[in-house]
Structures are given as C-alpha cells and as structure tokens.
Amino acid sequence: MAQTAAAGAAPLIIGTKSSAQVKGANDRLRIAVAGLNGRGGSHIGGFGGIKGVEIAYVADPDANVRGRRLKEVQGKGHKNCKAVADIREALEDPEVDAISVAAPNHWHSLMTIWGAQAGKHVYVEKPMSHDVEEGSVAVAAQKKYGVVIQHGTQRRSDGNIAGLHEMIKAGTWGKLKIAYGYCCKPRGGIGNKGASSPPENLDWNLWKGPAVIDQFHANFVHYNWHWFWKTGNGDLNNQGTHQLDVARWAIDNDQTHPVRAMAIGGRFQWNDQGETPNSMFGIAQYPNGQYCFFNVRNVNYNGYQHQVKNEYYFEDGGRIMSDTNPHYFKPGSDKGEKIKLKGGKVTPGGNWASFVAACRANNPKMANGNVHDAHYGCVLGHLMNNSYRLGKKVPFNKKAGRFGDNKDAAEHFGTLHDIMEKGCKVPVDKENYIVGPWLTFDPKTEQHTGEHAAEANALLKDPNNKGFEVPDAAKV
C-alpha cells in the first residue's frame, strides 16, 4: 500500500463503521499530524501535551519542515514518531487512531474523507471544506464510517459562548434578527512572484494534491496560498471561519443553509497578485428570515480598529455587542448591561482535550464543532465568496451595495465604506467595488436555483487532479 500511496493512487478503504476505536492500554491515542507549518505546530503542541496521547507521525511534503518538526516532536518525548511526506502512509498504519489536519485549505476535506475511510478519527483545521460539494462528501463519510470529526473552530469549546447562544435561542431578548461576524485584522500585500521551479525540498505534486494549478510560484508556500482561490478562501473563510461559525451557531437550531447570499468588496491598495478581497461585506438570509452579516477589513491605516468578534441584533432593536464579554443594550440605549452567563453544553477540556475525549469514547456527538456544524458554517462563507467571485465592477461609493430595502445591510455596509474612504483613503474617483449578485440556494439539494444558477453551481465543486479526486458522496 505504501507504494500505491507514493504513486498518488487512492487509498485502500479499510474502515468500517465500528472500526474507529482507540486501541492499546490506558486509553492511549496515537495521532498523525498532517501539515506542519503554522497551525500544525499548534496541533503538535496541543495534542502532544495531553497524557496518553502519542504523536505517531508528522506528515508534510516539504522535507525541510518535516525534518525540523520530527526533531522537535522526538525531543518532547514522542521518540517513536515517524516523518512521512504523504499522510496516506500514516493512514495505512492500523495502530494510528486519529489524524489531525493542518494542511492548506484545498487539502482539508480530502484528508478528512481519507481518514474516515481508513477508520481514523479526524480533527480538521478550519475551514473543513474548500468548496461546498466536498464538504457534503465529508459529512457523508462521517455518517458511513462513524468516526469522530471535530472542526478547528475553538470557540465551539467555549462554554460561555455556548451558554450565550442557548439564552439567545431561548428568546431571552426576543427574536434574533441578525448574527454578525467580523474579521477585521490588519494584513499586508504579498507582492508579485513569477512562475518558477519549486524548491528541491518540496514535493510540488503532493503539495498541490487535489488543486489544479498550472505553475508554481513562491507566493504559494507556505502561507500566502490563503489569498488564491484554488488553494484558499480569503480571510472570510480563514480567520473569519471562527466568527462565521459563531454567527451561524446563534441562528435557530432548525436552520441549516441560507436560501440566498451576496457580497460586495474589493482588493484595495496592495496592487499584488492575490485574488481574494481584503475588504468585504457579506450577507446571507435563512429560510426563517434570520440573517448573518459578515465584515472583512484587512487594509491597515493610522487608527485601525481591530474587530475579531461577533454581535447580535434583535427584532425589537436590542443588541448584544460581544460574544466573549457580552453586554446587552436595550432598544435605543447606549448603555450596556453585562450579561450573567451560565456555562452552556460543551465537552470540557478545550478544543484539543475535548477531541481526545470524544475519540476515547468513540462518540462523534461529543465533538465540539461536529461535521454538520462545520459544513453549515463553511457553506455560509462559500456562498458569500462565490457571489463576490461572480461580481461586477461598480463605482466606489455608498450606493454600490444592492441590498434592496434591507436598511440594516445598507447601514452596516455604509460603516465599512466610511472606514475605507476616510480611514484607508481609498480614492472615490479611481476605485471600484466588486458587487456580487444575489445567489439563491436550496438548503436540501445544496444547489443554486434561479438567476445565476448555472455559473454559481459551477463554483460548488473545484476540479481535482488525477489520484487526488474527492469522491462522490454516494460512493464515499
């Protein structure tokens, strides 16, 4: 099997619904970590510090990174850890109980699916999916093989946020109207890198995996892949996945996907080769009439206001202005009252230990941020992004947004526009917004309907390279 994996063939499906179990004495859990830069180091540190957890493999297509992490992990007591380029080698090991996925976004779902097929539990970094369809396949894989899948949205392990959402859904402040998320953190441009040969230490074919990419350039590795559509999802579904997930978490429990979504934004000032927007306002409406709004704002300026948070707006005009230090503002009041929270229902131990507990219990329901929550939250972002990708240029002004009679959307977009015009000094007479169309979506079929359906449905699934195909949900 190692030979076929190295050749890029699909893995042998060895899992069954009952095969995902922790083996060995004293609840030992052996984990393979895939993707060793950035978040991969956090995964190693998070899981490696839990009693009874063994880092059995580290996997990365970059030989230099792989060697460095192996030395680090072995130096921390995991002396039997092995380093491999291809995660499929670890999946073939019957003594591996779980995998932890911190590879680039375009790999997240496929590794999750492979893990489930091999009977391994999966902790997958956000976003679980790079596109809508592969996320639905991950859901199907979890259902078929019965493994634990936990999403790397750490706020799902916060009992206070869980408790706040339980209060919101109980109607404590009336009916929730808008759940709002912000991903406003400063970033910089990435410049322009010409096509070149990949470095000798990088297995470029394995790094690409399922992503169909014509040529290597140095902006792909090891972080700026986030800002290209074939490998990343922009900050909306990067850092923003956390706040998107929290926003959707507050929506009524019987709601899954939005029925329509749109976005407006642009990539201002940087003049680089990145493709994703650095400024964006997204809006999505659910079947029950509730909305999620989202704000991305990355262009730095003097006096920049950091906002990585969530807010909640109610039908009577009341609002809650934070999820981590929540204060309730009565309708028309500028004075907030601190909310007394009781811890909500979560598996204790934080994101790392809760996953370990779920694996040891062989209980997918214990996952803080299970495969369904992951899919619903990711699709929310994908629909907003896809609207932007289908957008047209419109002059840079407050009236650029096409929100119909939605005064709330116009107001919140207006706030973003003022910051871009007056704070970031985006020239009104020289720049344009990209304004995406309203995309209608059927939550049951997970397909677009109505106007723009053909072009929107084409974005629901990325093409894949041979040997790295995401299977059909029916054949997973």
Cβ-proximal residues to 57 (8 Å cutoff; 6+ apart), any chain: 32, 33, 81, 82, 83, 84, 87, 89, 90, 93, 96
**Residue 16 pLDDT exceeds 60:** no
Tokens at residue 54, please?
Answer: 């063994």
Compute the C-alpha angle 302/223/381, nearest 5°: 80
d(CA 129, CA 132): 7
Beta bridge partners of 433: 394
| Residue 1 clears pLDDT 70, i.e. is over it | no
Task: Give the model's pLDDT for residue 402.
Answer: 87
Q: What is the pLDDT of residue 27?
A: 83
pLDDT value of position 17: 56
Whole-model pTM? 0.95
pLDDT tens readout for residues 270-305: 999 999 999 999 999 999 999 999 999 999 999 999
Q: Are 114 and 98 in contact (CB under 8 A)?
A: no
Domains in the chain: ranges and CATH: 2-156+351-369 (3.40.50.720), 159-345+376-475 (3.30.360.10)
Q: Do the Cβ atoms of 243 and 309 come closer than 8 Å?
A: yes
> Which of 169, 191, 190 has the alpha carbon at shortest distance from 179?
169
Are 169 and 163 in contact by the 8 Å Cβ rule? The answer is: no
- Over residues 81-99, mean pLDDT: 98
pLDDT at 12 over 50: no
| Percentage with pLDDT > 90 across the chain | 93
Q: Which pLDDT score, from 0 to 100, does residue 3 have?
A: 36
Residue keyed to tokens 């899919």: 375
Residue 444 token pair? 């049951």
Going from the C-alpha of 140 to that of each of 62, 88, 119, 147, 375, the distances in angstroms are: 31, 20, 14, 11, 11
Q: What is the mean pLDDT of residues 467-476?
A: 97
Query: Is residue 8's pLDDT more than 80?
Result: no
Could you report the per-residue pLDDT of 307-334, keeping only the tens digit for each?
999 999 999 999 999 999 999 999 999 9
Please check the confidence at residue 353 and state whether its pLDDT lies above 60. yes
Check pLDDT > 80 for residue 23: no
Residue 10 has pLDDT above 70, yes or no: no
Average pLDDT over the chain, rounded to an integer: 94
- Checking phi first, is residue 109 left (phi over 0); if not, alpha (psi -120 to 50) or beta? alpha
Average pLDDT over residues 98-117: 98
| 327 closest CA partner among 338, 335, 317, 318 | 338
Half-sphere exposure of 115 (CA within 13 A, CB side): 30
In a 3-state reduction of DSSP, which class is residue 52? coil
Could you report the per-residue pLDDT of 441-457, keeping only the tens digit for each?
A: 999 999 999 999 999 99
Whether the pLDDT of residue 427 is over 60: the answer is: yes
**Which pair of tokens denotes residue 315?**
């039908």
| Range list of β-strands (E), 234-363 | 260-266, 279-285, 291-297, 310-314, 319-320, 327-329, 336-338
Band of residue 245 on the pLDDT scale cut at 50, 70, 90: very high
Contacts of 199 (CB under 8 A, 6+ apart): none
Mean pLDDT calculated for residue range 353-362 = 98
Question: What does the pLDDT read at residue 146?
Answer: 98
Please write the tens of the pLDDT for every residue from 180-189.
999 999 999 9
CA dist 312 and 318 (Å) reads 9
Mean pLDDT of 335-348: 96
pLDDT band at 100 (very low <50, low <70, confident <90, very high): very high
